[in-house]
Amino acid sequence: MSVSLTKGQTVSLTKSGGGELSQVRMGLGWDAITKRGMFGGTKQVSVDLDASALLLSTDRKVVDIVYFGQLRSKDGSITHTGDNRTGKGDGDDESILVDLPRVPATVAHIVFVVNSYTGENFSQIENAVARAVDSVDRDKELVRYELSGSGTHTAVVMARLSRSGSGWTFTAIGTPGEGRTADQLVPLALASV
């Protein structure tokens, strides 16, 4: 059973039977935009959303960025599965895999951001959702965060994984912004910590 989160809500990432999660996958899904033509027809317009992960230290410095141009963190603990430039298809269009035990102790937060590389805003993008799943337990959905209809911005700080004692917590952020690339969203991500 998953938890549907709204802005600012935090949940502990523990297994339902107890114990800590070892691998979390952040999934981002969305649909291509259907536009009506002048003569009543419709056509699909591709949307290129990008999911990225910013690794932050305890003193709020960017340690690394995982995105479509760098698919693996320098330490190898986080992997991006690749760039989807259309939004076509079912399920998650982009995923970022986090091997929690391998994340270096110097990383206090992993902030996930989404940007519209092609410039569409979130009032235009349909069925955009971010979710965290337990990668070890048959992709059991842990949390879900709806992104569609959130405004005319082109980017959003969607969520944050943070160290909490010996485990991790997941926080839905939902802070809107403007930007077409992950590095343009660094100030917004830092403000969410």
Global confidence as pTM: 0.85
For the chain, the domains span 3-191
The secondary structure element, H or E, covering residue 187 is: helix 186-191
- The total number of residues shown for the chain amounts to 193
How would CATH label the architecture of 3-191?
Answer: Sandwich (2.60)
One digit per residue, the tens of pLDDT, for the chain of length 193 reads 445 666 777 777 765 566 677 888 989 888 877 777 777 777 777 788 899 999 999 999 999 999 999 999 999 999 999 887 776 777 788 999 999 999 999 999 999 998 989 888 888 888 888 887 877 777 777 777 777 776 788 898 888 899 988 788 888 787 889 999 999 999 999 998 8
As a whole number of angstroms, the distance between CA 159 and CA 26 comes to 9
Partners of 156 in the beta sheet? 114, 176
